[in-house]
Amino acid sequence: MSTQPSLDLTRAQILLENEDISFSGTKKGGAFDIDESTAEKLLNAVNKSGLSNRDVVRPWVNGSALLAKPGKNTWIIDFGLMDEESAKQYEAPYEYVLNNVYPVKSQNRRETRARNWWLHSETAPGMRKALKGVKRQIATPRIAKHRIFVWIPIETLADDGTYVFAREDDYFFGVLHSYPHEIWSLRLGTSLEDRPRYTPSTTFETFPFPYPPGKEDTDSPTYAAISAAAKQLHEEREAWLNPPELIALGAGADSKALKDRTLTNLYNALVAYRENGANGNDNGLARNDPASTFAPRLAQLHDALDQAVLSAYGWEDLFTTLRTPEGDEELLRRLLALNLERAAQQDK
């Protein structure tokens, strides 16, 4: 009996419509990161220039912190693209970097990094430009067991272990977090041991969205359905991560009640539920574990999002076969065909 040849996804082309949206964060290249107490001192310091140190002292996040329960907040000194004279206007942060970064970074073998010692080694100018005017940003770890997307405040600076997306709408968040994008990124990405690596040039810039970015039909019922499902997913997930009733009682991130409420634990439970619990088999699921308790609801939220996204493509028939070998192959076949169709149009 003959078998169908494996789908050749290497044929996928980069889509110009996806350019200038996804970016790697900065690579600090020195001891620019500071703890919360140091940040508070710098933020409270007054400059002769009248400038606020909040311009250059920012919350900071790396890839692992996106998915873990943070302890004390981590901050970073970031002079962006400033020349040294401009950086000096922020007196206390500049002095901190002079004392803690300059001795090492000024000896860097790369001449430009040594000369610009007060700046991060990779300053991500494209990211900074794209995020201007955006009220919030989407982030995902470069390497992670589960492909999870989260909202982070626009004030937060991401490091190079994180990719950010310069979009602030629920629709875009929803499509990124849907199964079509997840399976596409898993098949076109690479991996480190057992952890998939998200590589925007192959996993994002090739991905055909239901609407080309920037050309969304915002009046469409399908656009509204994706937005609503994505918003619901985010809000209920956030409420699980930080239950208002526990926060009201003074529970902190390192408290016993909250420390295990991480996205990694939650999505481990979701996988276990899909593989076992959804079929009536509770093996591997702890009934009293908060993540396992919420997993069925999380599955419903993701299913609703997937249905909305598939409807936007006009592929409602695929929903019942999602997460099966045959269903995944057909979904990828259609995504590849759409990618090649869009690529052919941009070459005209």
Do 204 and 344 lie in one domain? The reply is: yes
Mean per-residue pLDDT, 155-164: 95
Q: Are residues 217 and 308 in the same domain?
A: yes
User: What's the structural domain count of the chain?
Assistant: 2
Q: Helix 221-241 to helix 290-313 angle, to the nearest 10 degrees?
A: 170
> What are the C-alpha distances in Å from 283 to residues 267, 276, 280, 295?
16, 6, 9, 14
| Selection from 45, 37, 30 nearest residue 72 by Cα | 37
Angle (CA) 217-341-325 rounded to 5° is 95
Per-residue pLDDT of 235-278, as tens digits, reads: 999 999 988 877 666 655 556 778 888 999 999 999 999 998 65
Q: Of 133, 151, 185, which one is at a domain's C-terminal end?
A: 133
Query: Residues in the chain, how many?
Result: 348
Q: What pLDDT, in 10s, does the model give residues 84-105?
A: 999 999 999 999 999 999 999 9
- Residue-wise pLDDT for 113-122, tens only, equals 999 999 999 9
Residue 252, pLDDT score? 59
pLDDT at 287: 59
**d(C-alpha 308, C-alpha 300), whole Å:** 12
Tell me the per-residue pLDDT of 177-205, one tens digit each, with 9 for 90 and over: 999 999 999 999 775 556 788 989 999 99
Mean of the pLDDT values across residues 209-219?
96
pLDDT of residue 246: 72
Residue 190 is classified by DSSP as E
pLDDT band at 206 (very low <50, low <70, confident <90, very high): very high
Of residues 142 and 64, the one with the higher pLDDT is: 142
Q: Same structural domain for residues 17 and 28?
A: no
Residue 5 shares a structural domain with residue 121: no
Contacts of 20 (CB under 8 A, 6+ apart): 126, 130, 166
Q: What global pTM score does this model have?
A: 0.91
105: containing domain: 24-133
Angle CA(18)–CA(21)–CA(27) in degrees, nearest 5?
130
- Looking at residue 276, its pLDDT comes to 84
